[in-house]
Amino acid sequence: MIELGVDEVDSAHPCTDVSLYSPDLDLLAYMLQDLRSLIRANDAGKVDLVAHEPKLWSVHGLRRRTVVCEPVLIRERERVCTVGFFAERRVDIDYPALDELEMSLLLEFRRFPGILSYSSVELANDFWANLVVHSVPDDTDMWRTSTAHVRAVEVSPTLYSSIRIHNGHLEGGVSGNGAVAVDRTKYWDYDVDPVWQAIRSFDPPLERVRRQD
């Protein structure tokens, strides 16, 4: 796997454009806020949280989904790990098949207690962004062996032209007020043969710039 510098962009692979970090981090912040708002509403007795039960709603006609897999444990951890998934969907894909694939992933979360929550937000042109919160880094190694994940990897080249995955962490946990910090980003470009892969690491981690109102 090719290693990219912090500010390095490979012009042959647009998915490596570092300008994508700003909107990606904003979307991760929005999904984290959805998750925190849902937990606060549950604490206030306004919403019932049932493990693995999706909460669905829309904002300006765009759909959002949050699934709290471990309603108790997600409150207790002072530091959690995060995975942000962003992809460029192919325009000619079968969207019902893609939705079915996502549902199979959600169902399989029940077999992996390290997965604390899953959030998704719909963007324009039927694109989605996803955020997974999990307990420790090793959880992802276990998850990669799951049947649903293996299937998702197999079909990804037919569904997406490129993928970028931000692996990071959240100091203070979901119950705190910290922001998602990105430790590394992995890239897959499926429009070339063989598939192009790269990784970019951050030390210190990359965080969203807090805006001053």
Q: What is the DSSP string of 49-112?
A: --TT-EEEEEETTEEEEEEES-TTHHHH-SEEEEEEEEEEE-TTS-HHHHHHHHHHHHHHGGG-
> How much is the pLDDT for 158?
85
How does strand 2-4 pair with strand 196-207? parallel
Give the pLDDT confidence score for residue 156 in this predicted structure: 85
Nearest Cα neighbor of 119 from 87, 85, 142 is 85
Residue 72 has pLDDT above 70, yes or no: yes
Does the residue 145 lie in any domain? yes
Residue 9 covered by a domain: no
Beta-carbon contacts of 196 under 8 Å, excluding residues fewer than 6 positions away, are 2, 13, 187, 188, 189
Q: pTM of the prediction?
A: 0.91
pLDDT at 212: 38
Q: Which residues of 162-177 are buried (b: 16+ CB within 10 A; e: fewer)?
A: bbbbbbbbbeebbeee
Average pLDDT value for residue range 117-129: 83
The mean per-residue pLDDT over the stretch 188-209 comes to 94
Comparison of pLDDT for 26 and 157, the residue scoring more: 26
**Residue 8 forms part of a structural domain:** no
Q: How many domains are contained in the chain?
A: 1
Q: How far apart are CA 144 and CA 26, in angstroms?
A: 26
In whole angstroms, how large is the CA radius of gyration of the chain?
17
pLDDT digit string (tens) for 8-55?
Answer: 999 999 999 999 999 999 999 999 999 999 999 999 999 999 999 999
In-domain check, residue 184: yes
**Structural domain contains residue 212:** no
Give me the domain span that covers residue 57: 15-207
pLDDT of residue 211: 45
Domain contains 152: yes
Domain assignment present for residue 7? The answer is no
What CATH number has the domain bearing residue 170? 3.30.70.100
Spatial distance between the Cα atoms of 191 and 176, rounded to a whole number of angstroms: 40
Longest CA pairwise span in the chain (Å): 53
pLDDT at 198: 98
113: preceding bond cis by omega (within 30 degrees): no
Is residue 180 a part of any domain in this protein? yes
Residue 99 or residue 186, greater confidence: 186
